[in-house]
C-alpha cells in the first residue's frame, strides 16, 4: 500500500498521482486529505508556500465530486488569474482518469462568454478569481446555488488584494450547508475574521509553526543608503552569475523603473506588473520560464502566480508594506526541496522591520555586506573559467584553426589565457576598480544629521490626497532619497513645502521636469523665501514636443547583435555598467515601453 493509498484516495487518483511522480504526501496533504475525505467539515489549513496545498484540497475534492452529475458542485476562489489557471491545470492532471469531470477556469482578461459557454457544457468544479466570479453571478452565467464545497485558496493574499467584499458577496450566493475549506500561508487577523464569520467549527491544521518561512530558504539583509539601492542590486546580481531571480518592488512604477534600468545595463531582465496587458504578462512569464529572463522584477500581486521551481534568489528591492507578504515573497524560492536565498536590501530606518520579520518567519537573518569590486571580479572570472571548462568544442571551427593558430603562434599558453580573459574582462575590471563601497556604515562619510536648509515649493497638496507623511513617502521614493533626507514637509491644500540638503537640489529639479501625475504636471521649485511664499507659483516648464513617447525608451532590437556586437555597442557607454553589453534576448519592445505613471 503506498502512502497516498493510506490516505484513502481512490484508484483513479492514485494512478494520476503515480503519473505525476509524487511519491509521498507532503505534511499538509497528510493532515488535510483524510479529514476532508472522511468528514463533512469546514477546514482552516495553514501551510507555507510550496508545500502542496493545491493537492491537499484538490485530491479530496475530486474524489467527492459526483461526475455523473453536470451540476456545479464546487467553487475554488483564488487571488490571481495565474494562480487560477495553475490550480485548474493541476486539477485537470489529478482528474485525468475521471473522464466526465470538468474543471473550468474563470478569470478576468479573457472572454466571459467563452467561459460561460464552458460552464454551460457542465463544470462540476469552477476555479475563479473573485472579481470575474462576481460578474458571472451578476450576469447569471454561473449557478453556484447548490455547491457542496467552497475552497478559499491563498486566503491571506485574496484579502491583501482587497477581495473581502467580493468573497462575502459570492458566498452569499452559495448554500448555507456547503463546506468551506480555507487554505493560507499566513494567518493575519483578516483571515481569522473570515474563518469566524463564514465558517462553522472549522477543523484547524497548521503545518510547521504558524507563519513559518520555508526552511530551506536562507535570509540575508544588506544595509545600504537608499540611493545606492539600485547599484547594490546590480552587485548582488554580478556576484551571482547564475542568478535566476524574482526582484520585488513595492509599486508598479518602481518595478518598471528597476527593470528598465537593468535592461539598459545589459541584464536579462523584465518587469511583471498589473499595467501590462495579459499578453505581455504571458510573454514575460514564458521568457522567464525558459530562462531568457534571469531577473524578473515584479510587484507582489503580479508575482502571486509564479510557479517556477528553480528560482535561486528572491531579492527584496524594497520591503513590502505588509510584513506578512514577506513570507509569500521568500516562498518563491526554495521550492520543491531546493535551496534558495531571500535577500533584503534595506536602509537604516528599516532595520527594525527585519526583527519583526524574523519573529514571523521564526528564522534568523544574516547581515551581509554588499560584495566589493574585487570579490565580484573574482567570482566572475572563476565563473568564466568554469564555463570554458564545460564548453563542448565546436568542430565547425576546425577549418579556421590554422589561420587562428598562425595569428597567435607567438604566445605561450599563459599569455593566451591572460589575453583571452582580458578580452572578456577589461570592462568589468574597469567598472569595478572605481566602484565605491556601498555598505551603509561606510558610505563615504555622509553626515548623519543634515541641515536640510534648501526649501522647495511643490504644486501638490491635500487636495491631491497627500498629507505630510504620504508626501514625504512619495518624495523619498521618487527621488531615491532616505527618509531622513527630506524634512519639514508642510502640506497645504493645493501646494506644499519641504526641505532637503542643498546637494539634492539638482536631482530634485531634474526629477520634476516634465513629471506628470494623473495627467497633470508636478512642479518643484526652490523657494526664495525660506519660510513661506509661493515662489513663482507653479510656472509651467517648457515641454518637449510631441509628448507621449519616452525619451529614453530604447528598442530591444538594439540588442540583437549577440556578444560581440553587443560589446562594441556598450564600449561607447563606458559609464553604464560592468556588463559586456546587453545580453537581452529579443523580447517585445512594448513590454519595456509600457510604463505606469499614476
- Choose which of 25, 79, 202, 371 interacts with ligand ADP (CB under 6 A): 25
175 burial class (0-12, 13-18, 19+ CB within 10 angstroms)? exposed
d(CA 487, CA 499): 5
Q: In the set 53, 219, 273, 580, which binds ligand ADP (CB under 6 A)?
A: 53
Task: Name the pairing type of β-strands 203-206 and 179-184.
Answer: unpaired
55 binds, among ligand ADP, Mg ion, none (CB under 5 to 8 A by kind): ligand ADP
Tell me the C-alpha distance between 167 and 160, whole Å.
12
Stretch that binds Mg ion, among 48-56, 191-199, 374-382, 582-590 (CB under 5 A): 48-56
DSSP states of 187-219 as a string? --HHHHHHHHHH-SS-EEEE-SSTTPPPTTEEE
Q: For residues 370 and 232, is the Cβ–Cβ distance under 8 A?
A: yes
Interacting stretch for ligand ADP, rule CB under 6 A, among 52-60, 128-136, 421-429, 558-566?
Answer: 52-60
Q: Are 343 and 221 in contact (CB under 8 A)?
A: yes
List the one residue from 54, 325, 476, 570 that touches ligand ADP (CB under 6 A): 54
- Residue 336 beta carbon to ligand ADP: minimum distance, rounded to whole angstroms: 6
Q: Which does 25 bind (CB under 5 to 8 A by kind): Mg ion, ligand ADP, none?
A: ligand ADP
The upper half-sphere exposure of residue 434, i.e. CA atoms within 13 Å in the direction of its Cβ, equals: 9
**In the complex, least distance from residue 18 CB atom to Mg ion, rounded to whole angstroms:** 22
State the residue number with the nearest CB to Mg ion: 53
Closest CA to 247 of 577, 595, 261: 261
Per CB under 5 A, does 332 bind Mg ion? no
Asked if 463 and 452 count as a contact pair (C-beta separation under 8 A), the reply is no
Stretch that binds Mg ion, among 53-61, 221-229, 257-265, 532-540 (CB under 5 A): 53-61
Decide: 123 and 103 in contact? Cβ < 8 Å.
yes
Q: How far is the CB of 526 from ligand ADP (least distance, A)?
A: 51
Q: Which is nearer to ligand ADP, 51 or 280 (CB)?
A: 51
Q: Please pick, from the candidates 7, 43, 55, 377, the single residue that binds ligand ADP as defined by CB under 6 A.
A: 55
Given its phi and psi angles, is residue 93 left (phi above 0), alpha (psi -120 to 50 degrees) or beta? alpha
- 216 in contact with ligand ADP (CB under 6 A): no
- Half-sphere exposure of residue 13, counting CA atoms within 13 Å on the CB side? 24
Which part of the chain contacts ligand ADP (CB under 6 A), choosing from 53-61, 188-196, 521-529, 554-562?
A: 53-61
Q: Cβ 96 to ligand ADP, closest distance in Å?
A: 14
Q: Which of 11, 336, 407, 493 binds ligand ADP (CB under 6 A)?
A: 336
* Terminal Cα distance for the chain, rounded: 58
50, 130, 213, 320: which one contacts ligand ADP (CB under 6 A)? 50
What is the DSSP code string of 287-343?
Answer: HHHTTS-SEEEE-HHHHTT---TT--EEEESS--SSTTHHHHHHTTSS-TT--EEEE
CA pair distance 231, 333, nearest whole angstrom: 23
Q: Are 333 and 313 a contacting pair, CB within 8 Å? A: yes
Binding residues for Mg ion, total number by CB under 5 A: 1
Identity of the residue, 173 or 338, whose beta carbon is nearer to ligand ADP in the bound complex: 338
Which of the choices Mg ion, ligand ADP, none does residue 51 contact, using the CB cut-off of 5 to 8 A by kind? ligand ADP
- Distance of alpha carbon 140 from alpha carbon 576, whole angstroms: 56
Residue 22 binding: pick among Mg ion, ligand ADP, none (C-beta 5-8 Å cut-off by kind): ligand ADP
The binding track of 517-546 with respect to ligand ADP, each residue x by CB under 6 A or -, is ------------------------------
Q: Which CB, 21 or 445, lies closer to ligand ADP? A: 21
Minimum CB separation of residue 5 from ligand ADP in Å reads 13
Q: Which residues bind ligand ADP (CB under 6 A)?
A: 22, 25-26, 29, 47, 49-55, 336
Amino acid at each position: 500500500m503506498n502512502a497516498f493509498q493510506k490516505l484513502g484516495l481512490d484508484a483513479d487518483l492514485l494512478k494520476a498521482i503515480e503519473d505525476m511522480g509524487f511519491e509521498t504526501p507532503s505534511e499538509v496533504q497528510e493532515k488535510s486529505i483524510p479529514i476532508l475525505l472522511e468528514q463533512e467539515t469546514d477546514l482552516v489549513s495553514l501551510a507555507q508556500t510550496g508545500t502542496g496545498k493545491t493537492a491537499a484540497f484538490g485530491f479530496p475534492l475530486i474524489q467527492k465530486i459526483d461526475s455523473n452529475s453536470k451540476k456545479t458542485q464546487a467553487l475554488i476562489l483564488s487571488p490571481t488569474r495565474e494562480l487560477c489557471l495553475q490550480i485548474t491545470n493541476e486539477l485537470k492532471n489529478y482528474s485525468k482518469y475521471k473522464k466526465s469531470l470538468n474543471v473550468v477556469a474563470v478569470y478576468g482578461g479573457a472572454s466571459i462568454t467563452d467561459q460561460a459557454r464552458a460552464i454551460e457544457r457542465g463544470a462540476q468544479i469552477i476555479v475563479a478569481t473573485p472579481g470575474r466570479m462576481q460578474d458571472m453571478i451578476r450576469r447569471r452565467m454561473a449557478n453556484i446555488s447548490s455547491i457542496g464545497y467552497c475552497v478559499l485558496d491563498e486566503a491571506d493574499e485574496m484579502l491583501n488584494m482587497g477581495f473581502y467584499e467580493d468573497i462575502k458577496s459570492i458566498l452569499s450566493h452559495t448554500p448555507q450547508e456547503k463546506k468551506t475549506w480555507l487554505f493560507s500561508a499566513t494567518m493575519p487577523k483578516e483571515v481569522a475574521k473570515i474563518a469566524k464569520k463564514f465558517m462553522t467549527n472549522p477543523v484547524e491544521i497548521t503545518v510547521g509553526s504558524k507563519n513559518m518561512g520555508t526552511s530551506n530558504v536562507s535570509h540575508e539583509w544588506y544595509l545600504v543608503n537608499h540611493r545606492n539601492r539600485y547599484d547594490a542590486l546590480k552587485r548582488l546580481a554580478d556576484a551571482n552569475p547564475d542568478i535566476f531571480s524574482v526582484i520585488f518592488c513595492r509599486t508598479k512604477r518602481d518595478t518598471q523603473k528597476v527593470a528598465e534600468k537593468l535592461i539598459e545595463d545589459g541584464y536579462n531582465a523584465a518587469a511583471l506588473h498589473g499595467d501590462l496587458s495579459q499578453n505581455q504578462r504571458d510573454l514575460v512569464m514564458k521568457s522567464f520560464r525558459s530562462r531568457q529572463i534571469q531577473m524578473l522584477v515584479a510587484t507582489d500581486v503580479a508575482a502571486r502566480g509564479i510557479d517556477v521551481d528553480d528560482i535561486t534568489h528572491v531579492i527584496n528591492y524594497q520591503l513590502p508594506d505588509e510584513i506578512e507578504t514577506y513570507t509569500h515573497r521568500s516562498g518563491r524560492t526554495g521550492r520543491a526541496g531546493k535551496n534558495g536565498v531571500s535577500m533584503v536590501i534595506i536602509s537604516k530606518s528599516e532595520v527594525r522591520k527585519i526583527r519583526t520579520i524574523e519573529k514571523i518567519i521564526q528564522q534568523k537573518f544574516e547581515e551581509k555586506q554588499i560584495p566589493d569590486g574585487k570579490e565580484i571580479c573574482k567570482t566572475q572570472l572563476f565563473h568564466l573559467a568554469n564555463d570554458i571548462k564545460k564548453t563542448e568544442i565546436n568542430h565547425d571551427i576546425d577549418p579556421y584553426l590554422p589561420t587562428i593558430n598562425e595569428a597567435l603562434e607567438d604566445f605561450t599558453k599563459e599569455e593566451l589565457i591572460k589575453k583571452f580573459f582580458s578580452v572578456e574582462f577589461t570592462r568589468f575590471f574597469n567598472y569595478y576598480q572605481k566602484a565605491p563601497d556601498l555598505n551603509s556604515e561606510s558610505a563615504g562619510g555622509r553626515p548623519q544629521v543634515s541641515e536640510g536648509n534648501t526649501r522647495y515649493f511643490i504644486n501638490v497638496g491635500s487636495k491631491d490626497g497627500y498629507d505630510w507623511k504620504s508626501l514625504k513617502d512619495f518624495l523619498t521614493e521618487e527621488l531615491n532619497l532616505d527618509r531622513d533626507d527630506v524634512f519639514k514637509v508642510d502640506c497645504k491644500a493645493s501646494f506644499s513645502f519641504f526641505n532637503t540638503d542643498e546637494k539634492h537640489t539638482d536631482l530634485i529639479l531634474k526629477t520634476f521636469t516634465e513629471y506628470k501625475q494623473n495627467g497633470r504636471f508636478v512642479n518643484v521649485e526652490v523657494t526664495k523665501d525660506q519660510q513661506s511664499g509661493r515662489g513663482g507659483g507653479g510656472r509651467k516648464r517648457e515641454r518637449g514636443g510631441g509628448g507621449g513617447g519616452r525619451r529614453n525608451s530604447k528598442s530591444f532590437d538594439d540588442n540583437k547583435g549577440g556578444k560581440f556586437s553587443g560589446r562594441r555597442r556598450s564600449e561607447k557607454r563606458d559609464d553604464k555598467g560592468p556588463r559586456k553589453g546587453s545580453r537581452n534576448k529579443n523580447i517585445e519592445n512594448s513590454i519595456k515601453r509600457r510604463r505606469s505613471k499614476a
